[in-house]
Structure 1
Amino acid sequence: MIDGVVVAALTPFDEQGALDARRIPPYVDYLLDASVGGLMVGGTTGEFVTMTSDERIEAVGAFARAVAGRVPVIAHVGHAAPAEACRLAARAAEAGADALTAITPYFHPVQPAAVEAYFRDVAAAVPTLPFHVYNYPEASGTRIAPATFRGLLDVPNLAGVKLSVATFAEVEPYLDLLGKLTVMSGNDALIVPFAEAGGTAVVSGNASVRPALLVDLFAAAQGGHTAAVERLVAELDQLRELTAAAPDRLKAALRGSGVDIGEARIRTV
């Protein structure tokens, strides 16, 4: 199972907006130097909604080659079209992904039966790779109920769930699955209570800028080191205020750390 801080990786684009894969190797080295637990490629922080399917697979391959097996590479393959999500899953496996995740079909709310069918189909597209459900209701428009997720527990390659939810109360129904599946909190504001509840893996967008900060915070929270937690949370709060989890702001902050990952296609400022 995946553990530690998984970086929601940024996707590099050049000044003309083209995918710029040559920037990936030094970026990967910067992240891995902080002892992160894995990389999630092509997720929300990675601006997947702005990318073609070919670009998404090119990015997965470039990250996988740069990582070279040092940590797991989780490819996000979610799509508004379920059939395309299945195709992306197969192509991501061929490109070198170690595991897969998929957000629900987005924009239009999806009924529970269709959500279950979607995840079963995407997982079955590559039955040899671990598959993680990606629950991000504020972005996708669909909230996955805990009962819907539990209906998927018989999927042979179901490995876990990423919970990008607003409150810890939405995480609590999954805590009994810790140790059985990989339960990942995807909200930086919930890192401390999640660690204190026994959580062993988080996915962080701000770790794409300051990976060591998130690694240190998660470890301190798991170890009950109150003074260190308070200090590191204050640093994280400053970073969260600066970036607002927006790709262009994250990339600007990363440049301030000495790593240039290029421009963003999504502009918020």
Structure 2
Amino acid sequence: MTTPILIAATPTAFDADGAVDLESTRAIYAHTLEGGTHAIFVNGTTAEFAALSVAERRANLAAAVDVAGADRVIAHVGAASPHETAVLARDAVELGITRLSVLTPFYMPATLVGVRRQIAAAKTAAPQAEIYLYLFPDRTGVHVSPEQAAALIDEFDLAGAKISIAGTDYLGAVAAALSTPRTLLSGNDGLLREILAVGGHGVVSGVSSSLPEPFARLVDAIADGSDDVDSAADRVNEIVPVLGPSIAGLKLSLQLQGVITDSRCRMAIDEPASDLRERIEATIAAAAPVESSLR
């Protein structure tokens, strides 16, 4: 079987004053890649991109390229406006990045006309890049049907889509509606086998930025047809409900492992309660590193 794609959606680290801590952010990039992920998804939702300036997003990308190499970085260039999306896309390609992801417009209501403008802005700014449509209706308020998503991918000759919609039904419907095969990635960390079963190709996983080894083990097991698939999937599904729901919890996990120095979020995200902290500590203790052929 073809190896499923494992991409880590990486957070942005901040210091005690709330400024971007590039040294700690670089450490996150190195940590997840060393743990077995294929690439890093930079400046996405997990990175609190809506609270980052254009200059800060470029600095994160430059650090990612330095740590991972441009071919292992996917730059999220979505913004509230097509204008800013174009600026971000140009920044990414100037750094040598060839894979971009474009979120639909957000905050202001947008129809398919607005979504097309957003994609066109990125395509014009980065005509040679592989571009992925990024769908996250719970955050953007923009709803695109599976058939419309497939039509957009075909119309703009996109590389595929990153779909942050619960379950697998939507992704499966997009796969069925495409005229030609494209790469479809899901934000559902714990559903890798199910995603593959409906025509998807992998995950963009926030949790794997903190505890990458269990995800890499599952990817290896699926690719090898190993008898360890069930146990590997069970381990991932023990981790995701603990770290997955909260960026603050994810960052606390990174701090407890010594990857970053401060777990603060810039956005107004609640800090983990004491019981969640205890669960995170127990999850880290149980997640012994394993060897992965992805390294």
TM-score with structure 2 length normalisation? 0.81
Render the CA deviation track for 1:156-213: whole Å, top value 9, x for unaligned: 5x21100111121111123345983221111123322012345332100111111111
Asked whether the equivalents of residues 171 and 200 of structure 2 are also in contact (C-alpha less than 8 Å), the reply is no
Aligned-pair identity (%): 28
Which residue of the partner structure matches residue 270 of structure 2?
268
Q: Give the direction of change, closer, same or farther, for the CA distance of 1:182–1:165 in structure 2 (3 Å limit).
A: same
Render the CA deviation track for 1:28-72: whole Å, top value 9, x for unaligned: 222222231111100000110111111111111111111124x52
Partner Cα separation in structure 1 for residue 14 and residue 65 of structure 2: 18
Report the residue type matching 1:189 in the other structure: G
Which residue of the partner structure matches residue 166 of structure 2?
166
Q: Give the direction of change, closer, same or farther, for the CA distance of 1:14–1:58 in structure 2 (3 Å limit).
A: same
C-alpha deviation, 1:120, in angstroms: 2.0
Give the length in aligned residue pairs.
Answer: 265
Q: Give the direction of change, closer, same or farther, for the CA distance of 1:30–1:125 in structure 2 (3 Å limit).
A: same
Instruction: Within 5 Å, give how 1:7-46 maps onto structure 2.
Output: 7-46=8-47
Matched, 1:48 2:28: no
Asked whether the equivalents of residues 116 and 151 of structure 1 are also in contact (C-alpha less than 8 Å), the reply is no
Report the residue type matching 1:137 in the other structure: P
Which residue of the partner structure matches residue 237 of structure 2?
237
TM-score with structure 1 length normalisation? 0.89
Partner Cα separation in structure 1 for residue 142 and residue 17 of structure 2: 33
Matched, 1:182 2:175: no
SS at the partner of 1:184?
Answer: strand
Q: Give the direction of change, closer, same or farther, for the CA distance of 1:6–1:190 in structure 2 (3 Å limit).
A: same
Q: Give the direction of change, closer, same or farther, for the CA distance of 1:195–1:207 in structure 2 (3 Å limit).
A: same
Asked whether the equivalents of residues 146 and 174 of structure 1 are also in contact (C-alpha less than 8 Å), the reply is yes
SS at the partner of 2:190?
Answer: helix
C-alpha deviation, 1:221, in angstroms: 4.0
Which residue of the partner structure matches residue 253 of structure 1?
253
Deviates more, 1:84-93 or 1:235-244: 235-244
SS at the partner of 1:36?
Answer: coil
Partner Cα separation in structure 2 for residue 20 and residue 265 of structure 1: 11
Partner Cα separation in structure 2 for residue 32 and residue 239 of structure 1: 18
Q: Give the direction of change, closer, same or farther, for the CA distance of 1:247–1:161 in structure 2 (3 Å limit).
A: same
Rg larger in structure: 2
Q: Give the direction of change, closer, same or farther, for the CA distance of 1:128–1:261 in structure 2 (3 Å limit).
A: farther
Matched, 1:78 2:72: no
Instruction: Within 5 Å, give how 1:89-168 maps onto structure 2.
Output: 89-152=89-152, 153-156=154-157, 158-168=158-168
Asked whether the equivalents of residues 184 and 203 of structure 1 are also in contact (C-alpha less than 8 Å), the reply is yes
Partner Cα separation in structure 1 for residue 145 and residue 13 of structure 2: 34
Deviates more, 1:253-262 or 1:162-171: 253-262
Q: CA RMSD in A?
A: 2.3
Asked whether the equivalents of residues 26 and 67 of structure 2 are also in contact (C-alpha less than 8 Å), the reply is yes
C-alpha deviation, 1:145, in angstroms: 1.9
Unaligned runs of 5+ in 2: 272-295
Report the residue type matching 2:188 in the other structure: N
Render the CA deviation track for 1:130-160: whole Å, top value 9, x for unaligned: 111001111111122223223331425x211
Poorly superposed stretches of 4+, deviation over 6 Å: none
Q: Give the direction of change, closer, same or farther, for the CA distance of 1:190–1:268 in structure 2 (3 Å limit).
A: same
SS at the partner of 1:90?
Answer: helix
Asked whether the equivalents of residues 28 and 209 of structure 2 are also in contact (C-alpha less than 8 Å), the reply is no
Asked whether the equivalents of residues 205 and 245 of structure 1 are also in contact (C-alpha less than 8 Å), the reply is no
Which residue of the partner structure matches residue 293 of structure 2?
none
